[in-house]
Amino acid sequence: MTPVQVGVFLPSPVDGETAPAVVVDHARHAEELGLESVWTGDHLIPASPKYDSTLLLAAVAATTERVKIGIGVLILSLRPVAWAAK
């Protein structure tokens, strides 16, 4: 029987309320607790600016060792095709 794998959605830094370093700390803590993955979403609406989800997860990947990373929703139509394909 496969063990249950649990992930967590990282806090979304909006308007400087949560610094990217705080999000990275949350990801490290999730890894220490033994969670399987950390997630973020993509939200590119000018009315509510947010850090780019791919850059945020790149910072998480650089500072964690085992935890998997994922984007809940990636808005492909707002990105260059070649960039999204990579």
* Per-chain mean pLDDT for the chain: 84
pTM: 0.79
pLDDT of residue 47: 64
Q: Which residue has the higher pLDDT, 23 or 19?
A: 23
Phi-psi region of 4 (alpha: psi -120 to 50; beta: other; left: phi over 0): beta
Instruction: Look at residue 1 and give its three-state secondary structure.
Output: coil
Note the pLDDT of residue 83: 80
Can you give the pLDDT at residue 59? 93
Question: What's the pLDDT at 64?
Answer: 95
For the segment 36-59, what is each residue's pLDDT rounded down to a tens digit? 999 988 776 666 667 788 888 999
- Domain limits, the chain: 7-80
* DSSP notation for 23-64: HHHHHHHHHHTT-SEEEE-----TTS-B--HHHHHHHHHHH-
